[in-house]
Chains A and B, each alone.
Chain A
């Protein structure tokens, strides 16, 4: 039997402990699902794909933000105990569900959308896949927006305005997209105390990213790009 303590209620809630049968190849998501289906149907949590594609099931497991679907119990269990909490740095809606609005609003604030140069009348853009810009963009494009990095970031906890690793990583992929026209505006949007210059290079985001992305490198790239733009008077 596993002793699973699960966060219940909103931000002012607390942990409640459940006994869950131990099984082979059991994921933490399996554990949460077992509790909801067999012990307490009022438990709220979020998941969709169960195979590490959607990023919906991220939670804090034994103090560390993880995808619960891709985390085996055997990897994180301490004795026979597991603690499961909602993601940090995000408002708790109920139990294991967080309000992700601020996280995604920050992507918008970092100009995390594509502003194309070409119209539908133009031919396809030809981008050399070996060019430095494309290589830099490719390093970050697999992000699925699970907010594990955001929940792991110390600077987000100190500075609520900070855009965070995911939004800045997204901005860096677009800064390196030669088809995009808003490079200057985006650099202005991500510079400063709420942007890339707030990063302390603690590397928690890169350590915890389940996709193996290194947002810290993206942020360092943005620092260089903004410095160069300021030097050229483009900012």
Chain B
């Protein structure tokens, strides 16, 4: 600020809103950590079902009413709905140069669609009656 030992000012705070971007990054990292576990469990379940020759009916017989399974897939779907749109947002920004507010609406809609359709699938497997 000056040269006579009156102390120095800190730097001015930038106007650009960095905070939402940081939270998006945290959300994507956290959801990735969840997905690392969820994808493994999901794949293991599929391989188990296929290798044991379970029919669709046999699978549904085991899954219906399974609260733990439903809870797991709600978490899984939530992690997907958070993770995928944030990644796609970065891709659109870098590859398409799409950086306007409309991009945020697009990825928000995508997140909602992933969540709704994912939840609908989980509901059909774990809750809906035969």
Residues of chain B within 8 A of A223, CB atoms compared: 25
| Known A119-B7, A158-B94, A159-B94: A197·B14 in contact at CB below 8 Å | no
A155 to B19, CA, bound (A): 21
Q: Does A185 contact B (CB under 8 A)?
A: yes
Q: Does B5 contact A (CB under 8 A)?
A: yes
Interface size class of B (residues with CB under 8 A): 20 to 34
Q: Which of B9, B18, B24, B90 has the most CB of A within 10 A?
A: B18
State the A residues within 8 Å of B (CB): 109, 111, 115-117, 119-121, 155, 158-159, 181-182, 184-195, 197-198, 223, 226-227, 229-231, 235
10 closest Cβ pairs, A-B complex: A191-B18, A192-B21, A182-B11, A192-B18, A119-B5, A230-B22, A185-B11, A158-B94, A121-B5, A189-B14
A115-B9, A230-B26, A235-B22 are known contacts; what are 20 more A-B pairs with Cβ within 8 Å?
A155-B94, A158-B94, A185-B14, A187-B18, A188-B14, A188-B16, A188-B19, A191-B21, A192-B17, A192-B21, A192-B22, A193-B21, A193-B99, A194-B16, A195-B21, A197-B25, A198-B90, A227-B25, A227-B26, A230-B22
